[in-house]
Amino acid sequence: MKKVFFSMLLLAALFVTGTSAKAQSSPVRIGVFDIDMMVRAMPGAPHVDTLVALYERDSLQAEYQFYYREFQRLDSTFKGDSAAGKPKSVLDLVAQQRQQVGMNIAYWQQIAQQKSEQKRAVLSQSMYEQVVNAYKKVLDARKYTLVLKPGAYEVGLSTIENVFQYVAKELKIKLPDELGGDLQDEKPATGGSTGAGAAKPATGAKPK
């Protein structure tokens, strides 16, 4: 029994030693990044903002006005048909149509927001693909153990690397100061980086 217990202790010691050695050979590296924020920092983002604003002003406003006028027309039709004593089946059909249009008006803010987000997603698709491809290259090169979003860590942790800077360098674009600015030349990192790559964007900061 003692021999079995001693063997188990020996195996446990070997496992802990092996795990510790592996951890030392592969130091923990933590980064901070957000794909959506990086896309908004792309040079093409202002153009997308302009197109979305035009879509909201022209298409969505026109769609809302259509629903508003249609509701008024159906309401007048329902009142006129009621006064004329038309069959219940006719009144029910008009009332149902009026209710459907009324629901679109009542929830128009949510509907318009969803349509606007869908439009932005379509217009930004190529930029998302560029950012994701660059991000994958950075992950492969720098071997991060964990990547957090801005605001998901305590301010002042100098060992957290600013992944925005590496992705921007990969994309060959200028990074806004809100996300840390351009990456400066750095010495090869050993363990947690404390050089230029450790600079972090402000918590919750978003590019203009």
Q: What is the pLDDT of residues 56-113, one digit of tens each?
A: 999 999 999 999 999 999 999 999 999 999 999 999 999 999 999 999 999 999 999 9
Residues 28 and 143: their CA atoms lie apart, in Å, by: 9
pLDDT digits (tens, 9 = 90+) for 118-136: 999 999 999 999 999 999 9
What Cα–Cα distance (Å) separates residue 128 from each residue in 45, 137, 170, 180? 11, 14, 14, 20
Q: Is the pLDDT of residue 1 over 70?
A: no
Query: What are the tokens at 191?
Result: 């363990």
What pLDDT score was predicted for residue 152?
A: 78
- Please, which pLDDT band fits residue 159 given cuts at 50, 70 and 90? confident
Alpha carbon of residue 67 to chain centroid: 31
Q: Which helix (H) or strand (E) holds 2?
A: helix 2-25
Residue with more model confidence, 207 or 124: 124
pLDDT digits (tens, 9 = 90+) for 46-59: 999 999 999 999 99
What pLDDT score was predicted for residue 10?
A: 37
Query: What are the tokens at 24?
Result: 């030392």
Residues 16 and 11: their CA atoms lie apart, in Å, by: 9
What pLDDT score was predicted for residue 88?
A: 94
**Cα–Cα–Cα angle for 142, 43, 158, rounded to 5 degrees:** 35
Query: What are the tokens at 69?
Result: 């006028």
To the question of pTM greater than 0.85 for the whole model, the response is: no
